[in-house]
Amino acid sequence: MRRRKLSEVEDKRKIRKRIVIRSLILIAFLLTINTFAWFTYISKVGVTLNASVVNWDVTFLEETNVVKEIVINVTDMKPGMLPVEKEVIIKNGGEVPAGLSYVLESVTLLGKDIKLDKTVEEIKTSLANDYPFKLSLTLDKTIIPPKDSGSFKMSINWEYEATEYYKLNDFYTYDEAVYYYTLHNGTYQVDNSVTATNFNDKVTSGLYLEKDDADSFWGYTCGKYENETGKPCLKLVFKLNAYQAE
């Protein structure tokens, strides 16, 4: 009788052990699925865009200009992100042609306004060439005929590229783990004389990074800034101005 009880106890222990093992396997499986789903999700999100205006029907009263302010916040930027485009449609519902223009009020990168005294064309050139991410602003037409429409587009892309160099600006900080380059007669050459002490002077005179290192710097810096401040890495504020064209 005692042996039978001991056997029953042992059998119950084995059953409990199997249940625990199966439960752990199930939990691990569910965690794996959830983790995979999370990374799949964030890889597709890429950029968040917020705009106060997405459609606009232009009307005119005594030739008064119509001005709309649009704010675009770009967050979670990263190398290899999916290209994203935001389009604002402007419809001319009137009986006369509508002239269209825009003013770039501010461009804030990492909390710093990089527009300052630059013209719209200068800042567009800078955003298209000075950073590993490419941001473009396009107005498809300056005159919208009656009952027609136009569009203002903002697109941002951050592709992987093999052999590009980027000129440093005052956003960069010294990193002893990367190679810095100077440009001589169209050739990029490693500058081994760069130190933490002379870094800022070197940047002023012209210093470059390879694309991979520039990607790493901006991806890390944007993420760190957003986590610490709760603000977008890049913010644009512009105004669309519609007026009665003669």
pLDDT in tens, 78-87: 888 878 788 8
5 by Cβ neighbours in 10 Å (0-12 / 13-18 / 19+) ranks as: exposed
Q: Please give the structure tokens belonging to residue 55.
A: 């459609």
How far apart, in whole angstroms, are the C-alpha atoms of residue 159 and residue 162? 10
Residues 141-152, mean pLDDT to the nearest whole number: 88
Q: What is the mean pLDDT of residues 229-233?
A: 92
Reduced 3-state DSSP string for 98-129: EEEEEEEEEEEECCEECCCCCCHHHHHHHHHH
pLDDT for res 52: 45
pLDDT grade, residue 7 (50/70/90)?
low
What confidence tens digit (pLDDT) does each residue in 175-210 have?
Answer: 999 999 999 998 999 999 999 999 999 999 999 999
